[in-house]
Amino acid sequence: MPEEKIEQIGKIKLDLTHYPGEDLYCDGEIEDELLAIARDCAAVEYQKIIEERKSWEVLYHLSPLRENIVEWLPISRDMKVLEVGSGCGAITGALSRRAGEVTCVELSKKRSMINAYRHMEADNVTIHVGNFQDVEPELPQDYDYICLIGVFEYAQAYIGSETPYDDFLRIIKKHLKPGGHIAIAIENKFGLKYWAGCREDHLGTYFSGIEDYPEGGVVRTFTGDGLLAIAKRCGFSQMQMYYPYPDYKFMTTLYSDRRLPKRGELSNNMRNFDRDRIQLFDEKRVFDSIVKEGQFPLFSNSYMLLLGPALSEEYVKYSNDRKEEFQIKTLQRSTGFGRIIEKHPLSKTAWEHIEATAAACEKLAERYEGSLLNVNESKLERAADGTPYITIKFLEGRTLEEILDERLEKNDLEGFHSLFDEYLKRISWGEEKEIADYDLIFANLLIPQGSNICDEKADESQKNDIECYLNKEKWGLIDCEWTFDKAIETREIAFRALYCYLLEDEKRNGLNPDLIMERLKIEPAEAEQYRRQEMKFQKYVTGKRLSMAEIREAIGRPVYTLADFCEGLRDRTADNRIQIYEDTGKGFREEQSFFPEEDGEQVLRTGEGTVELSVRIARGRSAVRIDPGSHACVIYIRRISWNGAEISLKGKQLQMNGFKIGEDTYAFPTEDPNITLSLWGLPSEEENHLEAVMEVTAMPSETMKHLQKRGLFN
């Protein structure tokens, strides 16, 4: 039994009993930057830092949206939580605020220090620094929740067996309290973003997961059925699958098999913060088609598999891309009395907004009393600690937005305008009163299912009859969050509803908004005024915060469409860029790579194709990979050296995905040529120097493929 070694950072305990003495992997200078931020800056400053640094790594580790993936779990102060692979503490804070005790396991001391400085006021967190296999035998067996967030896919990197994923889950299961839960968040190897042209999250290559990882490596992701099969083999009989959207890293919405997405909901799909991508198709339209066919679980970008007794939570939507005082979550849960909707503040700063929303709903209900618009029944409640939240009656039905889309798809413009006129009539009731819902958009109005001919059981011809939506049954207003104590003209509210509707989907461009402007008697100057009012409202909600879309633009990862390639618009100079990958123990990953010419390292080129490369490599790497470009080529290697010592090309220290065709000459019939130098056994210093001199000759890919088929490479 090794001697216990404890260090303290604030109120956080770092247990170094099993720490090997040095970090076996490191992400380099970015970790030093993150450590300085965590040590010197308050959490409230992180958003500003993210926006200023314009860095994927800073965004990934510090964004508060990272917490969403666990924030919704019903963890309470009488519970114990185990977090495996806690990293820089992206979710540790959310767990510590809810649980009574949090145990973290993390291999890297520097990352654990970042975590500790971020949450140094948490007196219920212990971070065990060291290899999981060394720490695990000493962990207790009574955890209520065990969180494997972005961890399970690496199981074969540290579980040396023929069935590493099964064995890892069985080991974890031993530490679970009866009735407890294991939460596994992981990418879906069949996620739609990969089909659409996003690179595989871990390898940075196109279609690797879809092709079942033909180049090997230590990372594996799974389909939903694949994950469930592993859980069943490990003896789990109770399991629920959740679907984080857009993905589990920056989740804004959580779906489940009890509440799957509806058409039109999956529109936030441009998420390439970390690397460039291709866009092969419009993901929103394809998602709409997938939802229509009932295949969303197969193509969800990420999964959250919850092993253990079923939870009541069916759906969660986070609105924390706003000013802090407006940040809330909307939750749908099942109870013994049916389903309910709840709205919760995400911090004490938002308490007032929740209380104001509850009061506004009551006033709005008074305004529409006696009309054909029914403000959904809601009630302000308080948790044991005094936190206010709103419970809202759950209604079954179809949104007006869905029905309007249906009219446009059928080219039924007359039906569309009839519904719009009905919308105007219903929302205008009590227009003169000093209370108005500015957010009366089509998606917030529900036409309930009932005994009329709009019932779900009605045949298709009846459901398509526009008259079924114009009967006297009340429409439900399902969200009154943005209600103000002032009178607002109906035509301004209707303009905003139409404006939002048209902007959200290009498929709606066939609608002529001028006809509706005429119906509303809105002149062009007034329309421009309303547009400015909408921009002002958005700033009121978000404050000075950049949206995630704006942050993505600031980071500057390009998106290439098929048209770009077909029309020759792609910047060909990018094909010649040298890229260096560093393996810190988890395989080669795009986020652990750099372009020497852009990072101030020395790269000399001559007109004859000679490349002289000299780069610095930090301690803690197990291998380095040189990618000489993004095109098929022939390479003559004059010299590769490590800290001045030349590496033999004939030994096993160097591996490449090309074919030897002559003395020190290799052919690469691939658009991803690479040369890998294993660092095992090589002397390592704090800063190491990798040097290479090569002659790189680009070749037409079709020519190289033809020569390969002829058997000229072996």
378 lies in a domain? no
Is a pLDDT exceeding 80 seen at residue 632?
yes
For the cut 80, the answer to whether the pLDDT of residue 26 exceeds it is no
Tell me the average pLDDT across 353-381: 94
Count up the domains in the chain and report the number.
3
Question: Quick one: pLDDT at residue 455?
Answer: 46
Average pLDDT, integer, range 571-576: 58
256 occurs within a structural domain: no
- My answer on whether 239 and 104 are in the same domain is yes
Do 444 and 576 fall within a single domain? no
Burial class (CB in 10 A: 0-12, 13-18, 19+), 383: exposed
Mean pLDDT of 496-503: 89
Cα 577 to Cα 7, 615, 631, 691: the distances in Å are 44, 14, 10, 16
Instruction: Let me know how many helices (H) and strands (E) the chain has, helices first.
Output: 23, 35
Q: Is the pLDDT of residue 282 over 70?
A: yes
Mean pLDDT of 93-121: 97
Distance CA(420)–CA(462), nearest Å, equals 20
76-85, 613-622, 676-685, range with greatest mean pLDDT: 76-85
Which helix (H) or strand (E) covers residue 294, if one does?
A: none
Quick one: what percent of the chain has pLDDT higher than 90? 63
**Residue of 168, 268, 269 lying closest to 218 (CA atoms):** 168
Domain boundary pick from 243, 276, 300: 243
**Domain end position, chosen among 190, 214, 243:** 243
Amino acid 449: pLDDT: 65
Supply the DSSP symbol for 108: -
Q: Is the pLDDT of residue 186 over 90?
A: yes
Same domain, 62 and 161: yes
Residue 679 lies inside a defined structural domain of this protein = yes
Q: Look at residue 457 in the predicted model and tell me its pLDDT.
A: 41
Is 358 part of any domain? no
227-265: string of b/e by CB count within 10 Å (b at 16+)?
bbebbeebebeebbbbbbbbbbbbbbbbbbebbbbbbbb
Does one domain contain both 579 and 542? no
Which residue from 96, 88, 116, 154 is spatially nearest to 16, judged by alpha carbons? 116
Indicate the pLDDT class of residue 560, thresholds 50, 70 and 90: confident
Given a cut of 60, whether residue 358 has pLDDT beyond it is yes
Distance CA 468, CA 693 (A): 76
Whether the CA torsion 451, 455, 457, 461 is positive or negative: it is positive
Q: What pLDDT, on a 0 to 100 scale, did the predictor assign at position 1?
A: 63
- When mean pLDDT is compared across 72-81, 332-341, 464-473, 556-565, the lowest value belongs to 464-473
75 and 180 belong to one structural domain: yes
Same domain, 453 and 540: yes
Q: Is residue 42 part of a domain?
A: yes
Looking at residue 630, its pLDDT comes to: 85
Asked if residue 635 and residue 531 are part of one domain, the reply reads no
What angle, 0 to 180 degrees and rounded to 10, lies between the N-to-C axes of helices 413-427 and 513-520?
Answer: 30
The whole-angstrom separation of Cα 680 and Cα 92 is 34
DSSP string, 516-580: HHHHHT--HHHHHHHHHHHHHHHHHHHTTPPPHHHHHHHHT--EEEHHHHHTT-S-GGGGG--EE
Higher pLDDT, 454 or 529: 529
Would you say residue 278 lies in a domain?
A: no
**pLDDT for residue 337:** 86
Do residues 535 and 619 share a domain? no
Rounded to whole angstroms, the Cα distance separating 182 from 205 reads 30
**654 plus 595 within the same structural domain:** yes
**Structural element, H or E, at residue 427:** helix 413-427
User: In terms of residue numbers, what domain contains 15?
Assistant: 6-243
Once rounded to an integer, what is the mean pLDDT over residues 310-316? 97
Confidence at residue 453, expressed as pLDDT on a 0 to 100 scale: 40
pLDDT in tens, 421-469: 999 999 999 999 999 999 999 999 998 765 344 444 444 444 456 666 7
Tell me the average pLDDT of the chain.
89
Of the three residues 223, 243, 263, the one that is the final residue of a domain is 243
Q: Identify whether residues 520 and 603 lie together within a single domain.
A: no
Mean pLDDT of the 580-585 span: 87
The per-residue pLDDT for 574 is 57
Residue 84 inside a domain? The answer is yes
Quote the CA–CA distance of 52 and 48 in Å, as a whole number.
6
Lowest mean pLDDT among 107-111, 321-325, 519-523: 519-523
Which residues are bridge partners to 101 per DSSP? 80
* Residue 191 pLDDT grade (very low, low, confident, very high; cuts 50, 70, 90): very high
Averaged pLDDT, 415-423 = 92
Per-residue pLDDT, 315: 98
> Residues of the chain with pLDDT > 70: what percent?
93
437, 428, 431, 427: which is closest to 362 by C-alpha?
Answer: 437
Query: For position 50, what pLDDT does the model report?
Result: 95
Q: What is the pLDDT of residues 119-177, one digit of tens each?
A: 999 999 999 999 999 999 999 999 999 999 999 999 988 887 899 999 999 999 999 99
One domain, residues 66 and 24? yes
pLDDT surpassing 90 at residue 622: no
Return the closest-CA partner of residue 624 out of 615, 637, 634.
615
pLDDT band at 631 (very low <50, low <70, confident <90, very high): confident
39 is a domain residue: yes
CATH number at residue 44: 3.40.50.150
Residues 688 and 544 grouped into a single domain: no
Q: Answer whether 149's CB lies under 8 Å from 84's CB.
A: no
